Structure 1
C-alpha cells in the first residue's frame, strides 16, 4: 500500500510539473493589449531589447520554480511520513531525554536539517539564476550565512509553536485548534513588534538615513499623514541585490520607515518621495491592522480545517503513514503538509486583497505628492532593476502577485494626456540609468 501510494504521488507530481512547464513556457499570454501599446506602461518604451528578452526569460523561470517548489515540498512531507522517517526521528529524540521540550527540540532539529538538505539544491538554483541574470549581487558565503540564520530563526519559532500545539492536543484533542488560535493573537502581535529591532538586523545593517535633506522631506510627508515617525532608516542591500525596495515595518513604537540603499542610489528624490508616500498609505489606511485581522481570520479557519483533515487522514491512512495518533510529534509533517496546501489554496484570495490595498496606496501617493511623472518613472525603474514581468499570465497573477502588475500600475498613475508619448523615462534618462 505504501509503495503504491508513493509511486502514485511521484507520477502525479511529474504530470503536474509537465503541465506547469507547458503553461509557463508555451501557452502564450503576457502580451501588451493594443490599447496600451506605445504608452508609458508599454515596456518597449522604457526597456532595451536585451532587458525585454532577459525579463521574459527570467520571469518564466521564476514563475515555473514557484509553481514547482511548493508541491515539491508537499511531496517531501508525504515521503517523510510514508517511509517512516518521521517516526524514526521521534524514536531517536525520545530515547535521548525524558524532558518533553528537549524531545521536541531534538525531533525538530532532525526534521529541519533533513528538509534543509533536501531543498538546498532548489534554493541554490534559485540563487544562482538570480545572480546569473544580474538581480542578486550576493556572494555565496553571504547567501549561506542568510540561509543558516533562516534555519535557526525558523527552528526557534517552530519549537515554540510545535511545543504549544502538541501540548494543547494532549490537553484537548477536539478543541486544540481553537486554543491554538487564541494564542496566535498575542504571538503574532509580539513577532510583528520585535521583528524590526530583533529579527531584521540579523540579516542586514540598519542605520539612520544619511541624506538628512531627503529625510526631512520624507518626515514632512509623514507629518502630513499623522504618522509618528522620528527617523527614516536605510539598509545596506547593494551587496545582496540590484533590486529596489522601500517599506514600513513593525507596529507601535517599533514601527520603522526603511529604504534600501539601492533605491537611494538609483531613484531621484521625487521618485523616492512617491514610493514613501505609497508606503505611508498602508499606515494611514490601516492596512497593517486589516492584514492582522485577515490573517487571524484565515488562521482560525485554517486550523479548524487542519484539525478536521488531520483526524480523517490519521483515521484512514495512519497505519500507512506510520502515525499512531495525533498527539505523537511524528504527525508534524502531516500538519505541515495540510497547512501548506491550505495556504497555497488561499493565495488567490489573499493576493487579491493585497493588490487592492496596493492600488489604494498608489492612489493615495498620487494625491499626496501630485507627481505622476515621478510615479511612472519610479515604476519603470523598479521594472528594469528587477527584470519584472509587466503583464503576467492569469495563474501567475492569482498565485504570485501581491502587487498589481506593473502594466496596470503604470497605466493608472500615468498622465492620461501623455500616454501615447514615449513616456516620462526619456531616452537620455534611460541611458544614464542603465549605465548605473
Structure 2
C-alpha cells in the first residue's frame, strides 16, 4: 500500500522529492547494518587478494608445487599428465588452506548479518560440490594452458585467452542444464496471470519465453534474484522463489524486465568480450613478469621456467594482483551494463514504483546511498539511490499525472 503524497499537498511531481520519499524509508539500525555489511566488503576485496598472494608465495617458499611436479614426473613422463596432476594437487591444496577464509566470508559473516538461512552442513556440502566441479574442469584448462606455453612461449597468452573463451561458452550452454540443478531445484512456473504478463513483455521484444523456471533459493537465503541464462537451445528465464514470495507483481515485472534487457541488449556477449580483453591483457603482463620472477627466484622455489607446472603459484600471484588492480574497471563495466538493463526494464515493464521498491529491498546487502567515487570503485550494480532516481525520472517523463508516493512503514520487512 502506498500513501499518495500529492493527493494531500496538490504539489507538482518532483522526481528528486519522489526519490527521497523512498530513500528516507531506510533509516536507523537497518540502514546502519546495510552500510556496515557492504562497506566491510571493500576490505574483503583487499584481504581476499592478499590471502591468494600469500598462499601462493608460501607454496613457492616451501617448494610445494616443486614437490607436486616431482611426484607427478615419477608417475608419468607425459607433459600433459604431469601438468594435470600438479594442477589437481595445487588446486586441492589451495582450497584446503583457504577454507577458513571461505568459511568466514561465505558462512560466518553472512550469518552475522542475517543474510544466510542455510545451516553449516548444507552450506559446506554445496561448497564441496562446487569444488568437485572446479577440480574436474580447472586442471584440464590449466593443462591446455601449459601445452600452449610449451608450444608458443611468446604468444601463449593470446591462445590462452581464446581457449578460456571457448570454456566459458561451453559453461554458458551447459550450465543451466547440468550445473545449476546441482544446487537448486528448477520447476516450470505455474500458468496464471503473472506468467501471462511476463510472457507478454517477452513477446513484445521477441525474447524466448517458452521456459520460465522457478528455483528454490529460499533454502539458502532470502535474497531476491532472477536471470536469463543459457545459449541457443538451453536459453531460459529463471526467477527464485524469494522474488515470488517476498515482492509484489509490479516488482516481479520490473525485475523480469531488467533481466530481459540483458538478453535483448546482448550483454552476455559484450561482457564476455570485455572480460576476455581484460584477461588477455593480464595474461600478457603475466607472460612477461613471470619469466623475470622465475629467473630471479626460480632456483629458490624449485621452478625451472614458465613451462614448468611448478610455476603455477607464480602465474597465480601475477593474475591475482592484476585482477585486484582491475576491480574498479570491472565493477564499472558491469555497472554500466546493469544501468542499461535498468533503463530497458523500465520501458518494458512500465512499473517505475515497482522498480523503486525492489531497488530498496536490495539494501539488505547493498549500501543504498554511497558517494559518487564510492559507487564507481566498489559497486558492480547501480546503487539503490541511483536506481530509484532513474525510476522516478522515468515516471516523470512517461506517466500521465504522476504522483509522489511514500511506501508504508515497514514495507521492506513485508512479504
**One of 267, 270, 295 as aligned partner of 1:315:** 295
Mapped partners of 2:72, 2:53: distance in 1: 24
Relative to structure 1, the CA distance from residue 311 to residue 393 in structure 2 (aligned partners, 3 Å threshold; closer, same or farther) is: farther
* 1:110 and 2:110 correspond: no
In structure 1, list runs of 5 or more residues that go unmatched. Answer: 1-34
**2:46–2:324: 8 Å Cα contact kept in structure 1?**
no
Q: CA deviation at 1:395?
A: 6.7
2:384 alignment partner in structure 1: 406
* 1:121 and 2:100 correspond: yes
Q: CA deviation at 1:396?
A: 5.2
Alignment of 1:83-162 (within 5 A): 83-126=62-105, 127-162=107-142
Relative to structure 1, the CA distance from residue 68 to residue 39 in structure 2 (aligned partners, 3 Å threshold; closer, same or farther) is: farther
Mapped partners of 2:289, 2:109: distance in 1: 37
* 1:71 and 2:53 correspond: no
Alignment of 1:268-307 (within 5 A): 268-307=248-287
**One of 425, 428, 432 as aligned partner of 2:407:** 425
* 1:171 and 2:171 correspond: no
Q: CA deviation at 1:271?
A: 0.9
Mapped partners of 2:114, 2:35: distance in 1: 14
Mapped partners of 1:100, 1:311: distance in 2: 19
Mapped partners of 2:57, 2:165: distance in 1: 30
Relative to structure 1, the CA distance from residue 110 to residue 256 in structure 2 (aligned partners, 3 Å threshold; closer, same or farther) is: same
Relative to structure 1, the CA distance from residue 394 to residue 325 in structure 2 (aligned partners, 3 Å threshold; closer, same or farther) is: farther
How many residues matched? 395
**1:39–1:45: 8 Å Cα contact kept in structure 2?**
no
In structure 2, list runs of 5 or more residues that go unmatched. Answer: 1-13
Mapped partners of 1:65, 1:39: distance in 2: 34
Mapped partners of 1:407, 1:435: distance in 2: 20
Secondary structure in 1 aligned to 2:304? coil
1:388 alignment partner in structure 2: 366
**2:198–2:253: 8 Å Cα contact kept in structure 1?**
yes
**1:246–1:276: 8 Å Cα contact kept in structure 2?**
yes
1:267-293 per-position Cα deviation (integer Å, ceiling 9, x unaligned): 111111111011111111111111122
**One of 234, 245, 265 as aligned partner of 1:265:** 245
1:221 alignment partner in structure 2: 201
Mapped partners of 2:113, 2:191: distance in 1: 31
Q: CA deviation at 1:188?
A: 2.3
Q: CA deviation at 1:382?
A: 2.4
Q: CA deviation at 1:423?
A: 4.8
Provide the alpha-carbon RMSD of the alignment: 2.5
**One of 170, 193, 197 as aligned partner of 1:190:** 170
1:20-39 per-position Cα deviation (integer Å, ceiling 9, x unaligned): xxxxxxxxxxxxxxx99975
TM-score (norm 2): 0.88
Q: CA deviation at 1:92?
A: 2.4
Relative to structure 1, the CA distance from residue 434 to residue 423 in structure 2 (aligned partners, 3 Å threshold; closer, same or farther) is: same
Secondary structure in 2 aligned to 1:228? coil
Q: CA deviation at 1:405?
A: 1.3
Relative to structure 1, the CA distance from residue 42 to residue 93 in structure 2 (aligned partners, 3 Å threshold; closer, same or farther) is: farther
Relative to structure 1, the CA distance from residue 349 to residue 56 in structure 2 (aligned partners, 3 Å threshold; closer, same or farther) is: closer
1:349-401 per-position Cα deviation (integer Å, ceiling 9, x unaligned): 22212211111111111122222111111111222xx2421133667534542
Secondary structure in 1 aligned to 2:301? coil
Relative to structure 1, the CA distance from residue 424 to residue 273 in structure 2 (aligned partners, 3 Å threshold; closer, same or farther) is: farther
TM-score (norm 1): 0.84
Higher RCO (Cα < 8 Å, 6 or more apart)? 2
Relative to structure 1, the CA distance from residue 71 to residue 287 in structure 2 (aligned partners, 3 Å threshold; closer, same or farther) is: same
1:203-257 per-position Cα deviation (integer Å, ceiling 9, x unaligned): 1111111353322211111111111220211110111001111111122221121
Secondary structure in 2 aligned to 1:230? coil
